Amino acid sequence: MRADRLVAVLLLMQTRGRVTAAELAEELEVSVATARRDLEALSAAGVPVYPQPGRGGGWSLVGGARTDLTGLSAAEARALFLLLGPATAVSDEVRSALRKLLRALPPTFRADAEAAAGATMVDPAGWGERDRPRPGLVALLETAVIRRRRVRLAYVDDAGRQSERLVDPWGLVDKDGVWYLVAGTDRGRRTFRVDRVAGAEPTDLPAERPEDFALGAAWRQVVGEVEERRSGTWATVLIGARFAPILRDRFGRHFRFEGELADGRVRVRVAAPAPLDLARTLAGWGAMIEVVEPGTVRDELARIGAELTARYSSP
């Protein structure tokens, strides 16, 4: 995992003082290009890593070799833990490494570093949206989460209405390129899409957060609520076995494999908020699929087919 390597790169540089990408690649058993990308990632995150060109050059830490992390500034420590923190949700090794790094920090830096490690998480399973740029407000909101300061948001809802919200920022989630802010409000926990935030103004007001709050657990609850709303109608579908992976990719969590048939097809279950939503998605498959039930989805497919026939049939 990349987060493991980044920790290893940092500690290796503290031991040796200066390394080349080739030396790192050999030590970590990765390609030179991968080692170079890891070094650049540390530099981009604010860790004081810089290249020295020319003969005898390489990559060094500002201030020379160190055997612990006491030479890091507060901002650099936050940057490092913010970069590696999301990986702790899926790796016991990274979690253990960050605990050791945390103990090596000066006591005055530990609170911010620990907050940074839990400020963001990554959920790789998408909700049908891909290749979206990272919103510029993510960095501002990360800082508010770490420093526990309230933020005044100008937020645009699904209907295009803009309102102002004063929120307690609890954490950020990157869901396959779409960023969400989990926050406390006067109505309880709420989730905001960062790309719908028209403006954000940090305040000096201290943010309140439940003592037992854990971003991973809160996000699993959010996902469960959303998925329940998105799966209001389930349909049983028969499809050729070789096309089932394509259908599974389209429906994601709303796809369930039920078994194989003797004629080379498979039986699966797919879901969407309403019968019309399912019919619109399945109609493009034409006769390649057969919807067994429910009748409401079959009726919607028949209606769509009749509309298409009426519009596109030859005179």
Overall fold of domain 231-312: Alpha-Beta Plaits (3.30.70)
Q: Please report, for the chain, the start and end positions of each structural domain, with discontinuous segments joined by +.
A: 2-118, 123-213, 231-312
Which numeric CATH code is attached to 2-118?
A: 1.10.10
- The pLDDT of residue 220 is 85
Model confidence pTM above 0.85: no
Q: Is the pLDDT of residue 315 over 90?
A: no
What does the DSSP 8-state code read for residue 119?
S
CB within 8 A of 242, min separation 6: which ones?
A: none
Question: Does CATH place domain 123-213 in 1.10.3720.10?
Answer: no
pLDDT digits (tens, 9 = 90+) for 209-227: 888 888 888 888 888 887 7
- Tell me what the mean pLDDT of segment 5-29 comes to: 75
- Would you place residue 290 in the very low, low, confident or very high pLDDT band (cuts 50, 70, 90)? very high
Q: Which residues of 144-173 are buried (b: 16+ CB within 10 A; e: fewer)?
A: bbbbbbbbebebbeeeeeeeebebbbbbbb
CB within 8 A of 123, min separation 6: which ones?
A: 173, 174, 175, 176, 219, 223
Cβ atoms 10, 39 nearer than 8 A: no
pLDDT digits (tens, 9 = 90+) for 35-91: 888 888 777 766 777 777 766 678 877 654 343 455 555 565 556 656 555 555 545
98 φ, ψ (degrees, to nearest 5): -70, -35
Q: Who has greater pLDDT, 267 or 66?
A: 267
Average pLDDT, the chain: 79
- The pLDDT of residue 135 is 75
- The pLDDT of residue 229 is 75
pLDDT digits (tens, 9 = 90+) for 86-140: 555 545 555 566 666 665 555 655 566 566 556 665 565 555 455 566 678 888 9
